[in-house]
Amino acid sequence: MRFPVSVICALLFAQSAPAFAALGAAAGPAAGAPQAQADAARAKASARVTSYSGYTVSEVVEPSGTTVREYIGADNVVFAVSWQGPSMPNLQQLLGSYADQYVAAASEPHPGRRAVAIQSDQLVLRSGGHMRSFAGNAYVPALLPQGVTPDNIR
């Protein structure tokens, strides 16, 4: 049985993509530099972890040049994600169980540009852009740590 070259390439790319924790899920055994550095080494991307009062931001620059940030609360749960760059990150992976809401919103007709916005008690998401310039963020309002506002998610 022969596989098309595109399928093989897609499988190889999927293995080389950075491993992010999904929105609303545990960030892993450690939300600090060792995990982010391991993810970055595996993806040949650069990583940086910054701690703030009550949360940590894990930032990875993908090989495509897109910057993806995970906002991790003191309870080690990802409460928000954001992205900005020349290509869209794997939103299925970033949004986890919230991805279905994004897919439903993105499939609805949108006038003008293909911006997607979701505003609910369960998920707040903004995503938009055009070729070579995409940006967006998503957060779970119930998971925002005390003192963290949506303005902190960039």
Q: How far apart are CA 43 and CA 17, in angstroms?
A: 5
Residue 76 lies in a domain: yes
% of the chain exceeding 90 in pLDDT: 58
Residue 5 lies in a domain: no
Residue 152 lies in a domain: no
pLDDT score of 55: 96
Residue 15 lies in a domain: no
pLDDT, tens digit, for every residue of 94-125?
A: 999 999 999 998 888 766 667 899 999 999 99
Q: How many domains does the chain have?
A: 1
CB atoms within 10 A of CB 57: 20
**Tokens 């960039």 sit at which residue?**
154
Residue 6 lies in a domain: no
* 132 DSSP 8-state letter: T
Q: What is the mean pLDDT of the chain?
A: 80
Give residue 12's pLDDT band: very low, low, confident or very high (50, 70, 90): very low
Give residue 153's pLDDT band: very low, low, confident or very high (50, 70, 90): very high
Q: How far apart are CA 52 and CA 26, in angstroms?
A: 18
Residue 88 lies in a domain: yes
Residue 45 lies in a domain: yes
Beta bridge partners of 60: 47, 68
Does the pLDDT value for residue 5 go beyond 60? Answer: no
Does the pLDDT value for residue 63 go beyond 60? Answer: yes
* Residue range(s) defining the domain that contains residue 126: 20-143
Contact criterion met (CB below 8 Å) for 93 and 87: no
Residue 58 lies in a domain: yes
Q: For the stretch 18-34, what's the b/e string if a residue is b when 16 or more beta carbons lie within 10 angstroms of its beta carbon?
A: bebbbbbeebbeebeee
Structure pTM?
0.75
